[in-house]
Structure formats: C-alpha cells, structure tokens
Chains A and B, each alone.
Chain A
Amino acid sequence: MTAAHVEPLARAAGNKLPRAPRKWQSKALLAVFVAYVVGVVWSWMYIDMTLLTLFGGFTELWNLVVDMVPPNFDNMRVVLKATVETIWMALIGTTACVVLSIPLAFMAARNTTPNPVVFAVARAIITLTRALPTLVLAAVLTLPLGIGPLPGLLALAIHSIGMVGKLFTEAVENTEAMSREAVTSTGAGKWQTVLATLVPQVTPSFIGTALYRLDINLRESAVLGFVGAGGVGFVVQQHLRSLDYQRAIAAVGVIFVVITLIEVVSTRLRASIIGDHLSSPTKKTPRTMARERRDHRLLVDAVTTRRLTPPWTYERLVRASAGIIYLVLIVVAFATIDIPYLSALGLGDEVIDSFGRLFPPDFTTAGPELWQGIRETVAIGFIATTLGLVISVPLGILSARNIVVNRFVYGTTRLFMLALRGLPELIVAVLFVAAMGLGPVPGTLALTVGTATFMAKLIGDALEEVSPEPREAVFATGASRAQEFVTSVIPQALPNLVSQTLYMLDVNLRSSTVLGIIGGGGIGFLLLSALRVLQEPTVGAIVIVIFVIVYSIELIGTFVRWLVE
C-alpha cells in the first residue's frame, strides 16, 4: 500500500526536479539580459555620446586622414629599428612565457600534479597573471626598471602565462592515459614515462598555442611604447605628439605590414606543424606527389638498411628547419635587444622594493576620480560592444558569400575588415585620440571598430556555415529574399551570436581599462598620471581596482557561459 502511495509521489517529484534548475537558469539568463540592457542605457547617458558627436567624430577623422596623406617615409631607419625591437620583445616575451608555463601546466593538470597544494598554487598563478593587462603591468614595471624593452617583455611574459598556461594545462589533461599506464608497467620512472608518453602528445598543441600567443604578443608589443616599455609604439606616439601625422601614418603602415606578414607565416606554420597529415596533403599536385615518392623511398631505404636514426622525410625536414630558424632568431633577439643584462641582474631587489612602495594602497587621494574612472571604463565597454554589434550585422551580411551574391561587394567588405583587424586596437585608438582629442569618445569608437570588424567576420563565417536545406525549403514556398533571410538564416545563427557578444563585452571591458593610458578615457588615464608624479600608493590602488574589474568580468563571464550551456 505504502509503496503504491510513494510511487506517484516519486514520479511527480521526478518530473519536477529536473525542470527546476532549468527554470532557475532561464530566470538568471533573463536577469543577465536585463542587466545588459540597463548597462547600455546607463552607459550611453553617462558618456553622453549622441549621434551628433559620432558624426562630428567622422569629420574630424576625415581631417586627420587628409593630414596624413601623403605618408612620409624619410624616418624609416628609426621606425624599422623600433619595429625589429618590437618583434624581438614579442619573441623573447613569448619564449619566456612558454618556458614558465610548461612546468606550471604539469603542476596544474589534474593528471600530472604532484600534490594538491602545488595544484592550487599553480592554478592560482595561471588565473591571476591573466587579470593584469599587459600595458598596466608594463607601465608599473617601468618604475623600477626604467624606460626600455625590459619592462615590456617582462610584462608580455607574465601576462601571457594566464592564457598559455591555461591552454597548456588543458592539453596535458586531454592526453590519453592508456600509454602512460603501459609505459609505467614496463618499469619506467615517473619522468621517463611523462617524457615518453605525455610529451609527444602535447608537443603539437604546445607549439600551436605558442605561435598563436606570439601573434597576440606582437600586437601587444607594438603598443607597449606608449608607456615607454620599448618598441615601435613610442615612435608612433612621438610623431603624433609633435603633430607629424605623415610620419606617424608611415610608422603605422610598417606595423600593419609586419603584423599581417607574421600572422600569415604563423598561421601556415601552425596548420602544418599541428596538422596530422603533413606528409599526405589533401591536394595532389606534381610537387606533393614527388615529395610523397621521395618520403616513401626514404622510409623503405631506412628499414631495409636498418638505419638507426629516423630518415629525413619532408615532414622531419620542415620541423627541423623551423626549429633551427627559431633558435637562430631567439639568439639574435637576445644578442641585439637593448637590455643591460649585467645590471638587470641586480634589479631584482629594486623590483621588490618598488612593488613594496605600492603598498599600502591609497584609495583616498584619488577617491572620487577613481570612482569616476571605474564608471567610465564600464560605460566604454558596454557602448563599444553594443555599437560594434549594431554595425557588424550589416557588415557581416555583406561579407557572407552565400547571402550577397555580388562578388565585388563581399570581396571589398572582407578586404576592408581584414585591413582594420590588422591593426592593434590601441593603435587605432591613439589615431582617434589624435583626431578628436582626449576623452572617452575616441576610445569608445576605437573599440567599436575592433568589435564591429571582429563580429562581422564571425557573422559572415557563421552565415556561410548556415545549412542550406532550410533555406531551400523556404525559397520553395515562394518567399522573397528578405523573407527567406529572416525566417531561416537568422534563427540558425542566433545562439552563437549571443555568446560571441558576451565574449566581446569581456574583451572590451578589459581593453577599456587601458584605453586611458593613451588618453582614450577610463581608469587607465589615472594610472598614467599617478605614475608620472610617482604617487606610488595611488598607483597601487588603481592597479588593485583594475585587477578587481578584470577578475570580476572573468568570473561573471564564466558564470554566464555556464548558464548558456
């Protein structure tokens, strides 16, 4: 009897229980959405950006463009030298970060960590290093280390640990355990086993991550000069300060070309080093077929003669030469970069001293300004994201091959976006500041451009991947092009769009903490002025505030992503 009573109850509970969390989650999602809308409205009122200022901005920008033509290349020696320094900084910074991240990753990966304390510490280091933007870190490091590339590359190295360490850890955790158990069973020691089984599995992904980070660091190191931390950014800023726009745009052009070139090379390298089928390419050309024949002959020779070292197949040659080129470059970088190694060794104490002077942080001296800076930073992030999204939708649609049938339209749109994405956001921002003067509006516009081009690319790609079957079905009912687009394309692409918007908000809020350093509004401006007058406790306070902003964004972002999934 009792059982009969219990059963319907249990079934009812069983029906209810799994639904309850979903309800709670959708409420939370709604709250996030409302909060976003409120944030945007409040930000718009706070920055007081009207459409008029926007269009006014465009005339000012046009004036700047007119002033920049024709570019003046007579200062190329200085620009090229500074650009080379920029590259070396990115290279050394990334290398240092990789060297530090490898042991951290093995300590932070669940399957290799030696003990829980080491695990927690390694995880904490990886999370915390990410929370201080490179430019802020570089600016603070110039206090003890002085002007030059050293604080810049240290900042690059430290900040990159956050991303590189995280991706490395994931790579280690994603290895399969069978081979490890098998090699342990042969009586191999712990490190022998790790080297024989885990390392071969993670190497390609480690290299891919490192190359990807090199791209990012190159962009970052191009703007480090704004705070005197070395590289070509300093040259750009000097020319802008002296209103020498023609030389400034020449330097910007060099930055653009170098960044684009290195990105192309590293993308190809990444594809070929990670690619599992380097030796059997998908495209059969006479060249690749000759290559395959040669590889095959080498392999056959190697086993018939019982060669005791692996034969020099194409794949091995490519890898070895990439490795040698890298080694040569890093040696040249270390040898030629302007770092006083010997005296730098003695600077350790000074760094500790100088960080000590940041404490206890002084929140009162800059109190009201600090509060204003925080609000401005948040407002810039919200407006840039929303405005960027609004602009990106038409741009993205124009760049989708399967929506716009006109080849010329999507071609030029894609090219235009590629050009804008090729420049680091802060370079765009510094040009906008030069055109419109100090304040949050140029900073916001720069982030808007970045967001719009990034999102437009995503939208374009997403639209091109939209499956054609529903579209055909709708067309078959006799719908117009516009009707078809609204009913079948948009619903398919929407979920991805929402999560990417959140991601951009995260990115933009981070960027807006540093915009002020170049006069683009937000809390960064305070940081720079406090640094100039050496108010170290105030610097400490600002750094802590930035840290808290970025860290909370990260937490909120993780929470919302969890909600969406």
Chain B
Amino acid sequence: MTTVLSGGADPLISLTGVSKRFPNGTLALDNVSMTVPKGQLLSLIGLSGSGKSTLMRHLNGLHKPTAGTVKVFGVEVSSASSKQLRDVRRNVGFVFQQFGLVGRATCLENVLSGALGRLRGPRYGVWSYPRTLRREAFDHLERVGLAPQAYQRADTLSGGQMQRVAIARTIMQQPQLLLADEPVASLDPESSAQVLELLLKVATEDKMTVIVTLHQVELALGWAHRIVGLRDGRVVLDQDARGLSQTDVMEVYRRVDRESELLATPSTPAAAPITERQRA
C-alpha cells in the first residue's frame, strides 16, 4: 500500500506544496502534495468548488500554481516553455464534463483535432489531415461505437454519444495520462455507466494512468486503486480504495465541520498525514 501511495521509483506526477489563488482572491488549492505512479487509477472526490477541476487543470498547464511545483513526466509544468508544455499536453488526454466538442464540425473532424499535437501547422476540415490519420480516426470512432456517425455534425448527437466522440478524440492523442473531469456528470444514469465503462476499458487496454473526478462514490470505489478527497482546496483523504467503506468516503462530502470528527477517528492509517498537517 505504501508503494501505491508514495509512488514507485518513477512517479508520473508529483505535486509539492501546490497552492493556487485566483485573481478574484479565491484560494482554490491549499498546499497540495501528492505523487501518482504509472498505471494507477486514481479517483478525486469532493464537493463542487473543492478544487478538483483546478487540480486537474494544473496537471496539463491550463492553470499555473501560485506556489509549489507541478511535475508531470518529469517536466516542471509551471515553468515549462510553450514547446515543452505542448509536449506534455500531447501526452495528457483530458475529458471534460461538457465534452468540449465543436458542435458545427463533424464527428470525424472532432476526433481528428486530437491529432493536432502531432502535426505541424493549422488544419481546417477533414481533407487537411493526412489520409493515414483519417483512417486512424475512423478506427477510434469504431472503438467507441460511433463509426456510423462519422460524417454527422457533433451537435446532432446525444450527450452520451458526444462524450464518446470526446473519448475517441482523446484516444487519437495516444496519451500516457488520462484526466477526466466529471466525465459523466451531465449524462443520464444509463449512459453514464456505459460511458464510464468505455472510458476505463480504453484506458486500461491502452495502459494509461488515469485521474478522474466523480460524484458517484460507489462508482469511484468500484474501480479506482486510490481515492483522494479534497475539501476547500486541501487533501483531506488519500487512501487505497480497498478497505475503504462508502461511509468513510461520504465524510468528505459533509459540508459542516465534521472534518475534525473524521480526522479524530483513526479508523484508517492513511489519515495520518492529514492529521499532521492539521496540527501544524
């Protein structure tokens, strides 16, 4: 368990003392430190506004930390040059809650845009991508079960289908790390189960490291190796998913001052580092 938590010899991600204060004064992240080893499936949980999305956006340089360092694939993202940053981003797939598809473009074009990091120069329209990439994009659409919709506009699809196109775009990137920011929060229960299953199947088949934020605790417990809980920008739970009960996890969602209570019960050894920080 220790190895899982602290990472092996070669952690894929390491955050040291990361804090983020937005220009409007909100402290979104407060001294977050953690490492993620290669191949781990990690689930971030916490209330809306607890800093989950902000943390994710630090991992591919969409946000820069106010303090601390973020290292991904050994590159310090916070101070990387724009070329280094592009290299990092190319290897980090990002799946968003709102899909981030271009509604007016066809599904195929949307998938192809995942290859932009590999290409030089601007592209516009299917014809501007090499034929090999077009074939590849078709394969990825097939993998998510949407090849028949290849030439349909993305905004004609259902929510679940759109998220599957977004997943195909991510596969197109061939990333080592997959970040999914509440990927199924805007979907109905049935499609959210399907989409999440697809996402994890693809990620494990392609040996990606995964960080996903989820609201559905039972889903998170079901498949994740490790659960990290955030509250007000601080890590309040960081544990192996095995041996963790749903009630333990639910504590993270308690809005009122149950934090002290949670920390006071030494039910799990992993709560120790948090207690230390709390005392300091």
Residues of A within 8 A of B (CB): 178-189, 191-197, 199-201, 203-204, 299-300, 302-303, 306, 308-311
Contact = CB atoms under 8 A, between A and B. Distances in A.
B150 A303 contact: yes
Given A188-B117, A189-B116, 19 more contacts: A178-B98, A181-B62, A182-B96, A182-B99, A182-B100, A182-B166, A183-B113, A185-B60, A185-B89, A186-B89, A186-B173, A192-B119, A197-B113, A200-B105, A201-B103, A303-B148, A306-B138, A309-B127, A310-B126
A180 B113 CA distance: 11
B122 A187 contact: no
Contacts, number: 115
A302 B124 contact: no
A200 B102 CA distance: 8
Interface of B: 60, 62, 86-94, 96, 98-106, 108-109, 113-114, 116-117, 119, 121-124, 126-127, 131, 134-135, 138, 147-152, 166, 169-170, 172-173
Nearest to A191: B122
Contacts of A182: 94, 96, 99-101, 166, 169
B121 A192 contact: yes
A195 B121 CA distance: 10
Contacts of B91: 187
B109 to A, nearest CB: 8
A363 to B, nearest CB: 48
A107 to B, nearest CB: 17
Contacts of A195: 122-124
Contacts of B102: 179, 196-197, 200-201
B89 A184 contact: yes
A129 B99 CA distance: 40
A201 B101 CA distance: 11
A303 B148 CA distance: 6
The 7 A-B pairs at the shortest CB distance, nearest first, are namely A182-B100, A187-B117, A187-B90, A188-B116, A187-B89, A185-B94, A195-B122
Most chain A CB atoms below 10 A, which of B122, B138, B166: B122
Contacts of B105: 196, 200
A186 B126 contact: no
A185 B86 CA distance: 8
**Chain A facing B: main interface SS:** helix
A96 B15 CA distance: 52
Contacts of B113: 183, 186, 188, 196-197
Contacts of A187: 86-92, 116-117, 173
Contacts of B87: 187
5 contacts: A179-B101, A186-B93, A193-B116, A194-B122, A196-B124
A511 B89 CA distance: 55
Most chain B CB atoms below 10 A, which of A187, A193, A195, A197: A187
Nearest to B131: A308
Contacts of A200: 102, 104-105, 109
Contacts of A303: 147-151
A324 to B, nearest CB: 16
Most chain B CB atoms below 10 A, which of A181, A185, A192: A185
Contacts of B108: 310
Given A195-B123, A196-B102, A311-B151, A185 B116 contact: no
Nearest to B121: A192
A183 B93 CA distance: 10
Contacts of B99: 178, 182
Nearest to B137: A308
A197 B87 CA distance: 20
B135 A192 contact: no
B209 to A, nearest CB: 16
B248 to A, nearest CB: 32
Given A186-B114, A199-B124, A302 B166 contact: no
Nearest to B142: A306
Given A306-B135, A310-B126, A186 B117 contact: yes
Contacts of B94: 182, 185-186
Nearest to B127: A309
Contacts of A299: 151-152
Nearest to B106: A310
A193 B113 CA distance: 8
A196 B123 CA distance: 7
A299 to B, nearest CB: 6
Nearest to B125: A310
Nearest to A313: B151
A308 B135 CA distance: 7
Contact of B116 (A179, A196, A201): A196
A196 B108 CA distance: 12
A187 B103 CA distance: 20
A316 to B, nearest CB: 10
Nearest to B124: A195
Contacts of A194: 122
